[in-house]
A and B are shown apart, each in its own frame.
Chain A
Amino acid sequence: MTATSLQNDLIKTVDHLHFYLKQAMMIEHATLPPYITALYSMKPNTNLEAFHILRAVAVEEMLHLTLAANVFNAVGGEIKSVFTNPDFIPQYPTFLPTGETDFKVGLNKFSRDTVKTFLKIERANEVDKGQPLVVPRKTTNNLLTIHNREPHYSFYSIGQFYAEIIRGLHALYAEMGDDLFCGDLSKQVTPEYYYDGGGEIIPVTDLPSAIRALREIQEQGEGSGKERIYDGDRELSHFYRFQQLLLNDDGDENYGQYYVVNEDEPEKSDRPGYPSGGKFKVDWDAVYPIKDNVKLSDYPEGSEVYEAAQEFQSAYSKFLAQIEFSFNGHPEKLLPAVGGMFHLKYQAERLVKNPIPGIDGVHAAPVYRVD
């Protein structure tokens, strides 16, 4: 690292680092409800290609969440009450906790507009390798008010946000050496506790493993920038996966087109914006008309839909509590917790198939946050 990076005014202390890593876990989680809501809204046995594209991304977000928790635990963060904090689940529609303020993320059905928002979440912005310093933009908008340290700073993308964490890690390591990694090793989620969930789980014990874990998140999310469609594992990055749903060379909105990544010679892969793979049907109408950004209070009290939504909400809180517990020294509890996600899925599927009593043609949807 260059000397200039040490002069950056963002991450200067271990407390700052903890703050950013907590935000990282919030961001990774904050994308999950929007992605899985869109997934649940698709009618069964339709849009198989789109379903798989969305599902694979959601699974990787779970991996990212776990990787961020590993880094947080490794540098001595206190994970208890991170996931169980009521504000861990944002109130949708929301700005992302990175502080991006040019778009909001909501809980919406699968649609072209929804996918366009997903593209913004995952948008690529080249971080110059020679200049790992990230320049925050000052904004005046109100952001999520969960952490009040630097409310007027914002990053353009999630990738830039991670670049700052990586820079901060380097800087603190230069000051503290191995003392930085003072976390309890038994809190690391290692591969035997993680089932092939969209990539490699990296136990974090030192600087190189911490950097690798963060780079994995950064690269799966955004790829390596505007020039390339693939990530460090030579897989299509999230941004371009979503883009496949909106692009094809005929311009027909009812078809998407796959990008081709050449794994042996990645530089021969498709160029951004020009997929050359097979086309697939996207049926934008085979979707349940769920209510946007639904809250429990949108359902008539006492109705079955209300009860089912409430049940989902409490099951979701329980799921987060189980995840937190497993990240807090009980990694063997992670797989059963993820099994709980499948149960959640079936609960959600019943909801989206039910119209909201009294509102014609509008269906129910899962409620995540306790308001």
Chain B
Amino acid sequence: MSIDRSQLMKHFLDFSVVVTGFSKFNLQGTDQVAAYYATIEKVVGDEILAELLRTFHRLAEQATGNQLIMDRGMRTDIFGSEKLGPIARNIIKLWYVATWYQLPQSWRDNFGVKENDVTFVVSPQAYPEGLLWPAIGVNPPAAKAPGYGTWSSPPVITLR
């Protein structure tokens, strides 16, 4: 991995913490950071992804820890951007349901149709790692079994 890419991957993890609300430990605990990074790279290309992450990194540096400034920057420069906004939203969905959703038609009209931009589940391993499941305090259906007979006990909910 080039130094640049590994640096961008770090930015991606930091970006994901901000947009998903889950901590670094929990995101790394899914072991999907590299897989999602590669997925986005494959769909939108490394240039657009790098643009998004560099924008994020610049905002974080400018905000110097000020939450308000960071929020505003995220809204205007990322989520408000015609180019980067839909990708940022897609990354949130990717983390929560392990699925890449095809970008909206308006994005495709403006920035070009990408060959791999179709809706797909990243991998069988990614599905049970979706953040949706811990977010709502349930086990992913048909994966991460809670153990025989546990259905007769109250659910174990850990919201993290």
Contact = CB atoms under 8 A, between A and B. Distances in A.
A44 B145 CA distance: 14
Contacts of B153: 336, 339
A195 B146 CA distance: 14
Contacts of B149: 195, 335-336, 339
B68 interface: no
Interface residues of B, number: 19
Interface string A295-310: 0000000001100100
A335 B156 contact: no
Nearest to A343: B156
B125 A354 contact: no
Interface in B113-158: 124-125, 144-150, 153, 156
Given A336-B150, A341-B147, A308 B25 contact: yes
A342 B147 contact: yes
B24 interface: yes
A350 to B, nearest CB: 3
A251 to B, nearest CB: 32
Contacts of A216: none
Contacts, number: 54
Do most interface residues of chain A lie in helix, strand or loop, or is the interface mixed? Answer: helix
Interface in B14-44: 23-26, 28-31
Do most interface residues of chain B lie in helix, strand or loop, or is the interface mixed? Answer: loop
Contact of B148 (A44, A304, A308, A335): A335
Given A342-B147, A346-B144, A44 B31 contact: yes
Interface in A350-369: 350-351, 353-355
Interface string A35-47: 0000000011100
Given A44-B125, A45-B124, A45-B125, A342 B145 contact: yes
B23 A339 contact: no
B16 to A, nearest CB: 14
Nearest to A288: B31
Nearest to B148: A195
Contacts of A45: 124-125
Contacts of B150: 335-336, 339, 342
A338 interface: yes
Nearest to B23: A304
A355 B31 CA distance: 11
A350 B128 CA distance: 13
Given A308-B25, A342-B145, 10 more contacts: A304-B25, A335-B149, A338-B147, A340-B147, A340-B156, A342-B144, A343-B156, A350-B30, A353-B29, A353-B30
Interface of B: 23-26, 28-31, 124-125, 144-150, 153, 156
11 contacts: A195-B149, A335-B149, A339-B150, A340-B156, A342-B147, A346-B144, A350-B29, A353-B29, A353-B30, A354-B25, A354-B29
